[in-house]
Amino acid sequence: MLAFISRRLATAVVMLLVIGTIIFSLLIIVPGDPAELLLSTGGGSATPEAIANLRSTMGLDKPVLVQYATFLYDTARLDFGTSIVDSGSISSAIALRLPRTLEIIVVGAILALAVAIPTGTAAGLRAGGRFDIAASAVNALLTSVPGFVVGTLFIYFFAQVLGWLPAGGYVAFAANPAQHLQMLILPSVTVGLHLATIVFRMTRASVLEMRGHDWVRTAVAKGLRRKRVVRRHILHNALGPIITVVGLQLGILLGSTVLVEFVYNWPGLSGLLVSAVEQRDYPTVRAVILTVAAIFIAINTVIDILSSLLDPRIRLQ
């Protein structure tokens, strides 16, 4: 077991190094000069002298290999440095924004699981029944509507027409808890909707498969109560694939809540990444991607270890 875990961790470190190098190289290839961009934001143009001065302030006049070595050395010490645009600390920007992205993902995931597992189970147990047909139809509809469309519609109805909720934005929980929760509702429901469709499908399929197994028939034949059969013998076994999918989806969501954050003006990690890419703020882009990658790899590693605990066959593969 220990060997399995250390092998996993070593792989994770190598993957991070590879990812860091790829991002570093890609950013060099991508056209666009951060100094020139910053000085031409206003639609104006800057003199070559002004651009050269700013490039030197940003540290972009150093040789690429020196920049790469500095990047690796600093990253290894977990020092992400400062933004070349506004000289703010990148670590504190990430520390500020990561929890907000996690907040909408976690709240969204809780909502999704709370709705999708019971409905998915019900649909799977009575596959082909009226409830299954209706739920599957709604699910198909929701799957095919992208998050930003849902977001735009939500804003239109709940903010503009009904006036129940703010159109978007963010207020810290400590500053105003009620307003914070109001602003949290729409983004997390939007994230949750997408996740719910996936969890619903997985649950339904998994339950459908499990309920046909011999041990379920045996359990029923033994005279166990329905509730117990569903919980112990069907759901318990069906949960494996669901956990894997939810775990992977959470990792993917970290990097892909960008549209939801944009539509609702939720200042999370994705928004930081997008504005950093637009401004060619290289150190910030690298730091955010590495953070997301690290979390993704961590989630995968944990899932692998969990699965190997549940199913020893995995350890031997």
Partner 1 sequence: MTPSHLPDFNATRRTVLISLSAGVVALAMPQGTLAQTAGGGVLKFGLSTFPPTLKPFDNTGGAANTVKLMLYRGLMGYDATGKLVNEIAESVAWSNPTTAVFKLRPNAVFHDGSPVTAADVVFSLNEITKQGSSAYLKSDLKIISAVEAVDDKTVQITLKAPSAIFLDLLASYCCPVISAKSTDSDVIGAGPFTLKGSEKGVFIELARFKDYYLSDQPHVDGIRFIAYADENLRYAALAAGDVDLIEYLPWTQFDAVEASKTLKMKTTLGPFMFLLFNVTDGPFANAKVRQAVGYAIERQDVVDAAFAGRGVPLYGLPNPKGSPFDLSDPAHEWKYDVDKAKALLAEAGYPNGFECRLLATATYGMHQDTASVVQAYLAAIGINATLDLPDWGTRVTAGKEGKYNIAVHGTSGNYNDPDALWSLLYSGNPSYLQSFGFKSARIDGLLEQGRNEVDPEKRKTIYQQLVVAYYEEVPQVPLNWRIQAYAMKQSVEGFEQLPGFLSGSSAYALDETKLG
* Subset of 158-197 contacting partner 1 (CB under 8 A): 159-160, 163-170, 176, 178-179, 181-182, 185
CA distances from 289 to 88, 277, 285 (A): 18, 11, 6
Among 28, 95, 114, 145, binds partner 1 (CB under 8 A): 114
Residue 196 CB contacts under 8 Å (≥ 6 apart), including other chains: 111, 112, 115, 116, 142
Instruction: Tell me the C-alpha distance between 232 and 219, whole Å.
Output: 10
Closest CA to 27 of 60, 75, 52: 60
CA distances from 250 to 2, 188, 194, 254 (A): 26, 13, 11, 6
* Nearest residue (CB) to partner 1, 270 versus 300: 270
Widest distance between CA atoms in the chain: 86
In degrees, rounded to 5, the angle at the alpha carbon of residue 50 between the alpha carbons of residues 275 and 274 is: 5
CA distances from 307 to 61, 239, 310, 312 (A): 49, 11, 5, 8
* Nearest residue (CB) to partner 1, 111 versus 292: 111
Tokens found for residue 278? 């637009």
Minimal distance, residue 134 CB to partner 1, in Å: 14
Q: Confirm or reject binding of residue 157 to partner 1 (CB under 8 A).
A: no
Tokens found for residue 125? 């147990």
CA distances from 297 to 210, 254, 294, 311 (A): 30, 12, 5, 21
* Nearest residue (CB) to partner 1, 179 versus 256: 179
Among 156, 218, 298, 312, binds partner 1 (CB under 8 A): 156
Among 9, 12, 220, 295, binds partner 1 (CB under 8 A): 220
Minimal distance, residue 229 CB to partner 1, in Å: 6
Q: Give the residue carrying structure tokens 């670590």.
A: 91
Q: Which of residues 283-312 bind partner 1 (CB under 8 A)?
A: none
Q: Which of residues 250-279 bind partner 1 (CB under 8 A)?
A: 262-265, 267, 271-272, 275, 278-279
Q: Which of residues 23-52 bind partner 1 (CB under 8 A)?
A: 30-33, 36-51
* Nearest residue (CB) to partner 1, 170 versus 300: 170
Q: Confirm or reject binding of residue 16 to partner 1 (CB under 8 A).
A: no
* Nearest residue (CB) to partner 1, 3 versus 178: 178
Residue 88 CB contacts under 8 Å (≥ 6 apart), including other chains: 82
Minimal distance, residue 302 CB to partner 1, in Å: 26
Q: Which of residues 62-101 bind partner 1 (CB under 8 A)?
A: 85-88, 93, 96
* Nearest residue (CB) to partner 1, 162 versus 316: 162
